[in-house]
A and B are shown apart, each in its own frame.
Chain A
């Protein structure tokens, strides 16, 4: 009987350290608003902490975190809060304002408008297609990870993304 190996899961701090950047980035892209993203960021980690003991030690943390973040974004959108705004048009003062401003000026006017337009189109997509698209293009998740995050099969994740893409192209 050798039981030298204990399977104590990663501490929550470690998980936060590993994933806080990508989660913040994802929330910024999805919400398009810094204050919203900050709220969602906090809420995501609080929920994740509460649910962490119930996450099976073998399951993947990344899609699980994105599932929480995605559901929170959906709830916020459903609760009719705010309409998505584009980050580049956000002139709010903040620590990082200068950096974004500089980029903004160098942005082609048309491109800025196109981004707003695309964001509007995305927010009009059916929920599942929108989520799958955001997880694919904003978070860079693979279809299998999207499947875990959305609780569906990898095939239907792929289908959702491609249907979303087709619709966007039609509406464009």
Chain B
């Protein structure tokens, strides 16, 4: 026994396990592994890059809706976003499954107001405050904008304009969750995660005539009060002391009307 080569012996341990043996064991236990995995499975998400008038978009969709819609800047950023996606979903590359999102964005920018048909899956909106902000934001219709401050107030943080800004910066589903419809309360356009020029492009397609130099919404917008459901001209005397946290700005009276508001009887904006 002494003479036996120990290295050979160690190497031979388990060598009698022929392929069929391992195969039979696998066959026997694979099912229970799959069963156990099923309990902790993350949902699948189709991932792909689509072209749009706003540039390339990295898109992910789950069975519940659009999970991710991100302006593509560089490959490193894309890798970081996919890494974040992987914490909640099992990504599968599937260009065909996400193509529809690019189509919808294209039609939307061309003026089709009902183009964005897909549901939104806010799984990636982590913090509860962010979820609340994005949820409230979805109620702001096309043709209207809201201020950071007013959105904060709606989400339960009247002094949280900056917090709203941060929450929107991490919006996983821009365009579908319209974070481009949020502006400074003094009328300036403010920033945008995808760059201010994209924000301009989106707002213009929704009817706001924004000047490239001024970067402000025009004075022609009407102020709609969320509580009274009345809309006014900007220079109406009632706007001087109104609670700005309850104001939506509409591109024109027609948009306010469509949102279920009536014109002010003092300034007669319609």
Contacts and interface: CB of A to CB of B under 8 A. Distances in A.
Interface stretch (A37-45, A68-76, A143-151): A37-45
B13 A138 contact: yes
Interface string A27-45: 0110010100110011001
Nearest to B91: A8
A169 B5 CA distance: 9
Q: Which 5 A-B pairs have the closest CB atoms?
A: A29-B14, A53-B86, A96-B24, A96-B21, A103-B16
B110 interface: no
A133 B40 contact: no
- For chain B, the bracket of interface size reads 35 or more
A20 B33 CA distance: 11
6 contacts: A3-B72, A6-B49, A7-B78, A29-B17, A38-B28, A49-B40
Contact of B21 (A7, A38, A57, A99): A99
A168 interface: yes
Interface string B48-73: 11000001101000000000000010
A interface SS class: helix
A4 interface: yes
Given A9-B91, A122-B10, 12 more contacts: A1-B55, A8-B82, A21-B22, A46-B33, A46-B36, A53-B87, A96-B25, A99-B24, A107-B16, A111-B9, A137-B10, A165-B7
Interface of B: 1-2, 4, 6-7, 9-14, 16-18, 20-30, 32-33, 36-37, 40, 42, 47-49, 55-56, 58, 72, 75, 78-79, 82-83, 86-87, 90-93
Given A49-B40, A99-B20, A115-B12, A24 B1 contact: no
Contact of B78 (A3, A32, A99, A138): A3
Contacts, number: 137
A9 to B, nearest CB: 7
- For chain A, the bracket of interface size reads 35 or more
B157 to A, nearest CB: 31
A118 interface: yes
A100 interface: yes
A21 B26 contact: yes
A62 interface: no
Contact of A119 (B13, B29, B78): B13
Given A1-B55, A24-B26, A46-B40, A8 B92 contact: yes
A2 to B, nearest CB: 9
Interface centre among B6, B17, B21, B56 (most CB of A within 10 A): B21
Interface string A103-118: 1100100110011001
A153 B83 CA distance: 27
Contacts of A114: 1, 4, 9
Contacts of B78: 3, 6-7
